[in-house]
Structure 1
Amino acid sequence: MMDLIDRLRAAVGAANVLTGDDMAPHLVDWRGRYRGAARCVVRPGGVAEVAAIVRACAAAGAPIVPQGGNTGLCGAATPDAGGDAVVLILARMNRVRSIDPENNTLTAEAGCVLATLRQAAADAGRLFPLSLAAEGSAQLGGNLSTNAGGVQVLRYGNTRELTLGLEVVLPSGEVWDGLRGLRKDNTGYDLKQLFIGAEGTLGIITAATMKLFPRPTAVATAWVAVASPRAAVGLLAALQDGFGPLLTACEVVSDVALGFVLRHIPGAARPLAASPWYVLVELSSGGDDAELRARLETFLARVLEAEQGSDAVLAQSEAQARALWALRENISEAQKIEGISIKHDVSLPISRLPVFLEQADAALAAAFPGLRVVAFGHVGDGNLHYNLSMPEAGDNAAFVAAQPAVNRIVHDLVHAHGGSISAEHGIGQLKREELLRYKSPLEMELMRAVKRALDPQGLMNPGKVL
């Protein structure tokens, strides 16, 4: 009787089953915080091969850890240290199966890199709006499994709202084909929603049908200096009143976060004189570029006249717009270079962002003198990345060891203001215990009941979320 690795080799070919040192890149997360072990890493080339892998693992009682681009921040794609797991890599499943411009849909496999999907949509004269700093390596399956957000949630919604249908290999090895390009389908439970945001704990997403949109012909981008988060929230409200659905993105960046980018990212340049906070604004429409920029310029003039901002720069070209966006998108990379930190990905009602920041900053400063707060995020949808470290690298080991105490301050305040401890990064290993503190016992039991129903052996990405 063949052992598991032999069965997997028979299913996908020996070259697509990695063992020994060849597994190393897949056993550590992007931040280098979680390291695990595995029996092997397997790379299927199609849904039938994924199904065969799952059936073989189920027969052997082997856990399965799905992994996309491995850009996650919560350890969801890293196996534990036991060495029993099979890591499932979907990178070979990278075909765009179809694009339907008239229906504004795209169907693609889970291993497609996000930037590739955006380009495929653009080539068809359409927009796929999911946009992340890691879009050059993040894969569609990972985006779906974490319900990724990104910078255009304000206008287009997060991954959940962009998804019309899924193809999923269930823990039994059966394949559910739910690839439907329908905006309306009221025929019972919306099963796809079980798998979006489940981090691979209920099944393996192998393909998806996603919404597309008309491609904008005009884009206007600006960087605005503001005095405080309260001023940023006020500017957001004014932008929404003035431009409605033309407002595509509204990002907030602290000067501390910008400083990291200026220090570590080659070519980064300060666009304005230093200010405590900045707001990055993007408008888009189907009209004329010059006309949209003129409208935004007029609006910004009123903002400065009313002292809602202290200065602003309006991009006059696509290259200038990209340079402004690079300041925002390179924050995570710059912070990684700066050194280890305690990261929080939280969401709050937009109106509560300023008071949360005031209270959290004060409480942390009292508990951890000298602390640096790196705050930035999607003010347009209430998602804040609230990251903490000490100025001296040597002090960070002790500080990171205090993460439970730090989390109590941050997460308790988030919860008190009606927020969530995970906005777009998921739960993974990092926040599994935290979830128990903020979800009600009933919510947790409902989640466990779904897990038991779909994955009675508990083999799908064990130790994550639940």
Structure 2
Amino acid sequence: LKKDNTGYDLKDLFIGSEGTLGVITAAVLKLFPRPAESATAMVALAEISHALDLFSLAQETAGRSVTAFEFIPRIFIDFVLRNIPGTREPFPKTYPWYVLIEISGAKADGQAAREMEDVLGQAAERGLLLDAVLAGSLSQARDLWRLRESVSEAQKPEGGNIKHDVSVPIAKIAEFIERADRIVESICPGARPLPLGHFGDGNIHYNIAQPVDMSKERFLEFWEPITTAVHELVAEMGGSISAEHGIGRMKRKDLERYKSAVELELMRRIKAAFDPNGILNPGKLL
């Protein structure tokens, strides 16, 4: 049902409740046709701030056909090439930042590739990119996507890591990364920030790898001060401390810190109305 304005939306109430309000026993999924074609490109940037202009250009050119816009720092490419067998350098030279763009089409008429070429051409004219590679086959597209999809596995051999799943307004992504990097360096000199994520919804997986000359145990002692500082910055910039992964047990204190007293009291009242005995996923969220 697309439209239903008959009072409170229980579906939206359950989304994000992490099982604290009830048990979902059935669900109806809306499916969309598989894209008939797609065009994939990796773009090299001098600065993460250029990603915003590139994203705006892609949307102006291809609209809702832009199905992916992922930003990746050079250090993560280094991790992947070093730790994931079979991966390859995407360009002859190295660059500070990369964006993986995908444009999809409902018809196999070449429109996706034409739109991608248009985006890349305009971006080059405006000086937004340093280099770009457009996948010429499904195999080449998979190779580019493997660089992005291998980052989590590639980080493991690098030692301890501190992870954050945050979001900020997309216009503030570059500022957040620049400020967060400086904050992390001031707390733990030599720590290696690894910010990547989904540009279109402002979601930043702000991971941090341990310094090369520090033990994992010593590095993880910085978990609390680093996380507190990162979350404080997120709050200052009007963002969220949990973009995708939820609150669970680990972030309960953070939720109390960054939600207002009114919001928390409303959440508790809703919880009590649905679960007066407190038996639904106790200890989570609230």
Matches within 5 A, 1:146-225: 182-225=1-44
Larger RCO (CA under 8 A, 6+ residues apart): 2
CA-CA distance at 1:394 after TM superposition: 5.0
The two structures have a TM-score, normalised by structure 1, of: 0.59
1:289 is displaced (CA, Å) by 5.2
Select which of 211, 225, 235 maps to 2:54: 235
Is 2:71 aligned against 1:252?
Answer: yes
Match of 2:154 in 1: 334
Query: Counterpart of 2:25 in 1: which secondary structure?
Result: strand
Structure 1 Cα separation of the partners of residues 57 and 115 of structure 2? 13
Paired with 1:262 and 1:455, the residues of 2 have a C-alpha distance of 50
Contact 1:339 1:393 (C-alpha < 8 Å) held by counterparts: no
Q: Tell me which amino acid in the other structure corresponds to 1:277.
A: W
Deviates more, 1:311-320 or 1:288-297: 288-297
Match of 1:433 in 2: 253
Partner of 1:206, secondary structure, is coil
Root mean square deviation of aligned Cα: 1.6
Q: For 2:182, give the aligned amino acid.
A: A
Aligned to 1:304: 124
Give, in whole Å, the separation in 1 of the partners of 2:83 and 2:18.
32
Q: Following the alignment from structure 2 to structure 1, what is the Cα–Cα distance between the partners of residues 4 and 126? A: 48
Distance 1:430 1:339 in 2: 21
1:457 aligns with 277
For 2:168 and 2:72, the matched residues in 1 are separated by 16
C-alpha displacement at 1:306, in angstroms?
2.6
Paired with 1:195 and 1:386, the residues of 2 have a C-alpha distance of 27
Structure-1 residue corresponding to 2:107:
287
Q: Secondary structure at the match of 1:327?
A: helix
| Cα distance change of structure 1 residues 337 and 204 upon mapping to structure 2, 3 Å threshold | farther
- Deviations along 1:279-327, whole A, 9 cap, x unmatched? 0101111233534213312331332233211011111112211221111
Deviation at 1:230, TM superposition (A): 0.3
2:110 match: secondary structure: helix
2:139 equivalent to 1:319: yes
Q: State the AA in 1 paired with 2:27.
A: A
- Contact 1:220 1:289 survives alignment (8 Å): no
The 5 Å alignment of 1:37-436 reads 182-272=1-91, 273-288=93-108, 290-392=110-212, 395-436=215-256
Contact 2:160/2:210, CA 8 A, preserved across alignment: no
The residue that corresponds to 1:145 in the other structure is none
Unaligned runs of 5+ in 2: none
Q: Give a deviation string over 1:169-190, Cα, whole Å, max 9, x none.
A: xxxxxxxxxxxxx111223221
CA deviation after TM superposition for structure 1 residue 396, in Å: 2.5
Per-residue CA distance 1:416-446 (angstroms, 9 max, x = gap): 1110001011111221111111100111111
**Conserved 8 A contact 1:219-1:289:** no
What is the alpha-carbon distance in structure 1 between the residues aligned to residue 207 and residue 55 of structure 2?
23
- For residues 309 and 270 of structure 1, what CA distance do their matches in structure 2 show? 17
Count of residue pairs the alignment pairs up: 285
Alignment of 1:8-23 (within 5 A): none
Q: Give the 3-state SS of the residue equivalent to 1:214 in structure 2.
A: coil
Q: State the TM-score, normalized to the length of structure 2.
A: 0.94
Contact 1:342 1:389 in 2 (8 A): yes
What letter matches 1:296 in structure 2?
M
Task: Note if contact 1:258-1:327 (Cα within 8 Å) is conserved in structure 2.
Answer: yes
Unaligned 5+ runs, structure 1? 1-181
Shift of 1:198: 1.3
Q: Which SS does the other structure have where 1:308 is aligned?
A: coil
Identical counterparts, % of pairs:
51
Contact 1:251–1:377 under 8 Å retained in 2: yes
